[in-house]
Structure 1
């Protein structure tokens, strides 16, 4: 698959099985994330990989946050089961450094670019993934569990694994609906 085909065919696959990426393949995925745009060379990324028993730890973090927020039992259960939709979940964190020329938003966007690059690197090597977000990313209890402070922010949970089926083709969109010229 060439690079343009990879980018134009990008699709999320919401249910993934083992195996997860490992070894050199996983290293390539992380290295792709480290190539995200990085104004000022601040390296504003942190990647926390959960697999095996780590998925149980992530489930505990998410469900305990839901309990602390007095969420309905259905939400608590959803958080308890969420990490198990794939054999690996990488929590991608924007680790913000105060800088006079690089505001926090740029560092958050950089970490977001890292997620995209990592997902594309996974697909390029025969795996699949999906990027999850939601209110739980902003939860103070979750931030505490991951050691976040200041303007640090979780930008997403990247689920990685092997698809159980052939992903549907990406939806075609009309360029004119999104593009303007000055």
Structure 2
């Protein structure tokens, strides 16, 4: 797939099903993400891959973050918080570890580099025949959610990329 075609035909998919990318395809997608423009070659992005079996701690952190934000949330609402992050075969949480006192590269440029890495990940998934959805939400700012994917409280989650096959009924 040519680059312009990939950009022009890519769209977010609300419903993602199996299959997800295999190990070789995932490795290619992660390598493409790492080719993002990056002033100062700081590579501020952190890519945490979560397959279905490996996302328990992340899901628990999301549910607890929701419980803290909304103490009145019902068990059904908390279950929905968990379930919506179980649908896609694969999640890639894109974090950004900023060097705040860097003499040449301001914080915003480092965060933008992580965003560019996310775009490369999404476009490469599309070029390989997969669909994606870039999500964040209030939980992305929660220190416990960040910790569940190896980030510090002052780091950033810039994307939770859901990856899989677009469900046919979606269109």
TM-score of the two chains, using structure 2 as the length reference: 0.89
Which protein is bigger by CA-based radius of gyration? Answer: 1
Unaligned runs of 5+ in 2: none
Matched, 1:89 2:91: yes
Q: May I ask how many residue pairs the two structures share in their alignment?
A: 168
| Aligned partners of 1:58 and 1:83 also within 8 Å | no
Partner in structure 2 of residue 64 of structure 1: 64
TM-score of the two chains, using structure 1 as the length reference: 0.84
User: Once the two structures are superposed, what CA deviation does each residue of 1:53-88 show, in whole Å capped at 9, x if it has no partner?
Assistant: 113332112102212334422552332112112010
Instruction: Kindly state the Cα deviation for residue 93 of structure 1 after the two structures are TM-superposed.
Output: 0.2
Instruction: Flag the 1:6–1:167 CA change in 2: closer, same or farther, 3 A.
Output: farther
Stretches of 4+ aligned residues off by more than 6 angstroms: none
Instruction: Kindly state the Cα deviation for residue 92 of structure 1 after the two structures are TM-superposed.
Output: 0.3
Instruction: Flag the 1:128–1:166 CA change in 2: closer, same or farther, 3 A.
Output: farther
User: Once the two structures are superposed, what CA deviation does each residue of 1:3-45 show, in whole Å capped at 9, x if it has no partner?
Assistant: 1111112200111111111222111100111011111010101
Across the aligned residues of Structure 1 and Structure 2, the Cα RMSD in angstroms comes to 1.8
Partner in structure 1 of residue 53 of structure 2: 53
Cα distance in 2, alignment partners of residues 108 and 101 from structure 1: 14
